[in-house]
Structure 1
Amino acid sequence: MQAVELINPQGQGAAVILCEHASNRFPDDFGDLGLAEADRQSHAAWDPGARAVALGLSQALDAPLVASTVSRLVYDCNRPPHAASAMPSQSEKISVPGNRDLDDASRQARVDRVYLPFRDAVYRLLDARAEAGQPSLLITIHSFTPVYNDRPRAVEIGILHDEDAGLADAMLDQAHRLPHRRVERNEPYGPQDGVTHSLKEYGITRGLPNVMIEIRNDLLTNAADEAQMTDEMLTLLRPALDALGAGGSSGAKTGRAQNA
């Protein structure tokens, strides 16, 4: 199995969607990193519900989707190779024995096996769209836990950005359309937490509008939840794309997005 999946690469919408933490798969050549089964199924290993929402947005907006197929505990594709958090030995309260004391060769093997295929897939996709004169903007999809280190999180939807806040601002301007949700800027994480690597690597360096969406994962417990949150993200995204002049090429389809 490849370390990255590319869905709808010929999508004609303006959005390009990334899901760096889509999977909790542990390839055989890296083993289970010494983790218990419960830990391999936990949020430490992936972002539950994120791939379903990303896929729903891909279908609704006719957008290409690039998703990792490997657990972020093997390699976190939203971190650069030099970051300690790219292969963390501790994730909240979960210790990761297989990530302790990795030597340079072991780290490079994971970069080569997981990160570079993901990065190169995004590069090729964005290059091809640029060469075809097709405008692009970048959306990355994540989920987060309602409790972190014993502290409850009230925020339900986080709209994250780094130095380029244009798309985030346009989405936050639409937050009134979801009066039942607590929508916040750069929560529960922000640039200071090192979570904006993909925004910088693929969006800011190319001058592309970009945003990172975080959804609290107790709102993503089943397929119905995932479909509802896809619709709610579209409620923010569609007028935001219009405001940035990308709505006409967003490929947006009418009706509820269908999640696989």
Structure 2
Amino acid sequence: MVPAQFKVLSEAEGECVTVERPNGRSSLLVICEHASRLLPERYGTLGLSAEALESHIAWDPGALAVARGISRTLDATLIHQRFSRLIYDCNRPPESAGAMPEKSEIYEIPGNAGLNAEERLARTEALYIPFHDAIRALIRDRKARGQETVIATIHSFTPVYHGKMRAVEIGILHDKDSRFADSVLNVALTGSPLYKIERNEPYGPADGVTHTLVLHGLSNGLRNVMIEVRNDLISDQDGQGVVADYLTGLLRQSLDA
């Protein structure tokens, strides 16, 4: 048991995981690891400015809105993390330096500097383990009732990284199992694509971003894909709706294929 002084969430803050449409009929299971920039009360601001806490280092802006749009239209179950990846990045394993980063792009994160083993364990047990246990439970329950599961994780990325503009607008990512990503790309690149779409950009497996896909997709033999959307495209409600509708179409056609 984690000592009281390392308790991450208060009882008032509730669970770290939210599941929407738990009985969704679609085979698609939508996952959003970086849905929120909310910090647990005990951590204050982690020593960061308001600007940093609103930026992409704290969350994936627009990703949850897009994920919800996909979930709503397809009647797909959606699961998302309620707290910021600055406390624990649920798309990283506990041994990864990026799970509780001391620095993210240009920002030093004072509240994550020099964490001891007890603090790291407390965050892992409070945020990472319940999140992935909830995904496992969903997959297990769906299998028990004969419902297929295809995993899609939804993320967003910053248009400028270390001073360099990124031309790609939507990335279709995969690890060793490219079956579903191939289907999505085939649909997306047929005709005249609405967006500039690339495979494993602006990140790929070598960057350690496919942890959730490996943990729940590859390990269970499930088709899977990670979708990255440049966040300037989904900075407002109109953009989020357009991208969600577009991705819903891609995913629906890919599931049918």
Structure 1 and Structure 2 fold alike (TM over 0.5): yes
Please tell me whether residue 117 in structure 1 is matched to residue 103 in structure 2: no
Question: Residue 62 of structure 1 corresponds to which residue in structure 2?
Answer: 75
Question: What code does the residue aligned with 1:110 have?
Answer: R
> For residues 73 and 14 of structure 1, what CA distance do their matches in structure 2 show?
31
> For residues 148 and 191 of structure 2, what CA distance do their matches in structure 1 show?
27
Question: Residue 210 of structure 1 corresponds to which residue in structure 2?
Answer: 224
Give the Å deviation of 1:177: 5.2
Q: Secondary structure at the match of 1:81?
A: coil
Please tell me whether residue 221 in structure 1 is matched to residue 235 in structure 2: yes
Give the Å deviation of 1:178: 5.4
Question: Residue 200 of structure 1 corresponds to which residue in structure 2?
Answer: 214
Question: What code does the residue aligned with 2:56 have?
Answer: H
Question: Residue 166 of structure 2 corresponds to which residue in structure 1?
Answer: 153
Question: What code does the residue aligned with 1:74 have?
Answer: I
Deviations 1:16-45 (A, max 9, x none): 000000000001123221111111110000
Please tell me whether residue 132 in structure 1 is matched to residue 137 in structure 2: no
Give the Å deviation of 1:61: 1.1
Contact (CA 8 Å) 1:33, 1:96: kept in 2 or not?
yes
Match 1:28 to one of 34, 38, 41? 41
Question: Residue 7 of structure 2 corresponds to which residue in structure 1?
Answer: none
> For residues 180 and 174 of structure 1, what CA distance do their matches in structure 2 show?
12
Structure 1 segments of 4+ aligned residues over 6 angstroms from their partners: none
Give the Å deviation of 1:179: 2.2
Q: Equivalences for 1:35-184 in 2 at 5 Å?
A: 35-175=48-188, 176=190, 179-184=193-198
> For residues 51 and 173 of structure 2, what CA distance do their matches in structure 1 show?
29
Question: Residue 9 of structure 2 corresponds to which residue in structure 1?
Answer: none
Contact (CA 8 Å) 1:76, 1:85: kept in 2 or not?
yes
Range moving further from structure 2, 200-209 or 31-40: 31-40
Contact (CA 8 Å) 1:166, 1:209: kept in 2 or not?
yes
Give the Å deviation of 1:180: 3.1
Question: What code does the residue aligned with 2:164 have?
Answer: R
**Compared CA separation, residues 178 and 214, structure 1 to 2 (3 A):** farther
Give the Å deviation of 1:114: 0.9
Q: Secondary structure at the match of 2:29?
A: strand
Q: Secondary structure at the match of 2:46?
A: coil
Question: Residue 239 of structure 1 corresponds to which residue in structure 2?
Answer: 253
Question: What code does the residue aligned with 2:117 have?
Answer: D
Report the identity percentage.
Answer: 49
Deviations 1:190-222 (A, max 9, x none): 000000000000111000000000000000111
Question: What code does the residue aligned with 2:236 have?
Answer: N
Contact (CA 8 Å) 1:19, 1:51: kept in 2 or not?
yes
Contact (CA 8 Å) 1:158, 1:187: kept in 2 or not?
yes
> For residues 253 and 240 of structure 2, what CA distance do their matches in structure 1 show?
21
Question: Residue 13 of structure 1 corresponds to which residue in structure 2?
Answer: 26
> For residues 105 and 218 of structure 2, what CA distance do their matches in structure 1 show?
29
Question: Residue 247 of structure 1 corresponds to which residue in structure 2?
Answer: none
Question: Residue 4 of structure 2 corresponds to which residue in structure 1?
Answer: none
Range moving further from structure 2, 4-13 or 171-180: 171-180
Deviations 1:109-139 (A, max 9, x none): 1011111111111011111001111111100
Q: Secondary structure at the match of 1:218?
A: helix
> For residues 17 and 179 of structure 1, what CA distance do their matches in structure 2 show?
23
Structure 2: runs of 5 or more not aligned: 1-12
Number of residue-to-residue matches in the alignment: 243
